[in-house]
Amino acid sequence: MSLYLVGGVVRDLLLRRENWDLDLTLEGDGIAFARLVADRYGAGLAVFERFATARLVLPNRLKIDIASTRRESYVKPAALPDVAAASLQEDLYRRDFTINAMAIQLNPATFGELHDPYGGQRDLKAKTIRVLHGGSFFDDPTRIFRAIRFTQRFGFSLEPSTRGLLEEAAATNLIQQLSGPRLCNEIFLLLGERDPRKPIKRLAFLRLLRFLHPRLRYTNKGERIVAVLPRALAWWKKQCPDHGVERPLVYLMAILSKAGPAVLRSVTQRLQLSSLQSKAVEWAGRRTDRLVQVLEQTKDMRPAQVYRLLADLPDDALVLLVAKGLAMRKVGGGHRLTRRLSRFLKHDRLATTILRGEDLKRLGLEPGPQFKTILDRLLDARLNGRVRTESDERAFVHRVAQKPG
Ligand code: CTP
């Protein structure tokens, strides 16, 4: 049997880029081979019969995907393909771009031999993304996003007829037929690239945002926020290293900067976002704009008032606010907003009272809903600098308990 390393990892080997997504393909029964390897090396094994593929997880946690060389036929465009055994050459032909259609043989006698029947090396040198045949984007419209992604990641260009085919496919409704999770996966992969600003422009230029919502436009305002998002994310990482955010989600929220609640809801449903992601997206549009307005325009605000406005925001929404502040700075505003956000994120967000519910009981107070009110007021007093020590807090609680409300 002939065994090959295939696809993205071969491309990346030739580009000398690290890639541990190892895809193997076998001229023969890939699943049977995977079982043998799993036995020999004590690896975990998952088999996906429908696609004739298997995944090995080796004891050192390295994952290897194994398939049989195959041809794919698409019953209808954008559907998942039917597969049948085929030669390596045919297997490579069904792939998206020439640079991803190369294989390296792994059998000991021919170890390291490169199979490149469609000019993958030539296109890597020429920094070109080229499809293998005219039906490629129609077979699988996720390739539209992949093409944009690879041009960005490697600084490559679309070969002219590939560009024509891509634009033709983008103008149809094929992408509409992708399931929510598949569309979401592609969009998040694109927005997860190191700098997705150009790809977002491309999406907008190709009018692909209509597949998120027909009325969605990439406005100048959205673009201004996306432009400063890398800075906002870098700032966040420095200030809040323990609070990771989902970068692609924040970019999506920035694109949705002007959307109203109905559009936000529909995008959430289309992409089948998780409930946490959906909660963050709810803050994307005008809702954060209202916060921006209050935080920028209200002259006198105590730190506790700022805290109460921001305390419930998910991290992703806070990053978006930071970006909105930075975008305003570019046009001479945003100073108050940035100052207040900065104070909240650096200090107040993590503030807690010294006394807890247990302590209130020990002070002789009757447990009940008023505990939350008292502790909230205590926290506000701490944020506003009216209490500092534990005895300050005790005195404050006594005062509040005597005249509730
Ligand atoms: N592939 C394809 N068409 C697709 C998806 C994948 O032809 N829509 C093929 C390509 O040969 C690709 C390989 O399957 O190289 C592996 O796919 P995947 O792991 O998704 O992509 P990579 O090329 O490895 O890209 P990345 O580096 O972004 O993971």
Domains assigned to the chain = 3-126 (3.30.460.10), 128-211 (1.10.110.30), 214-351 (1.10.3090.10), 357-402 (no CATH)
Distance CA 280, CA 121 (A): 43
Distance CA 34, CA 50 (A): 16
Check whether 360 has a pLDDT greater than 80: yes
7 CA to middle of ligand 1, Å? 6
- Nearest-CA residue for atom 13 of ligand 1: 7
Phi, psi of 141 (to 5 degrees): -65, -10
Q: Using an 8 Å Cβ cutoff, are 303 and 348 in contact?
A: yes
pLDDT at 18: 96
Burial class of residue 27 in the structure, from the number of CB atoms within 10 Å of its CB (0-12 exposed, 13-18 middle, 19+ buried): middle
- Give the position of tokens 């506790």: 304
Ligand 1 first shell, C-beta below 6 A:
7-8, 21, 23, 95-96, 100-101, 140, 142-143, 146
pLDDT at 192: 96
For the chain, give me the number of helices (H) and strands (E)? 20, 11
- Give the Cβ contact number of residue 347 at 10 Å: 12
pLDDT at 366: 86
Return the ligand 1 atom nearest residue 9 CA: 24
The set of residues, in sequence order, having a beta carbon less than 8 Å from that of 194 and lying 6+ positions away, is: 153
pLDDT tens digit sequence for 288-310? 889 999 999 999 999 999 999 99
Q: Using an 8 Å Cβ cutoff, are 94 and 106 in contact?
A: no
pLDDT tens digit sequence for 32-78? 999 999 999 999 999 998 888 999 999 999 999 999 999 888 777 77
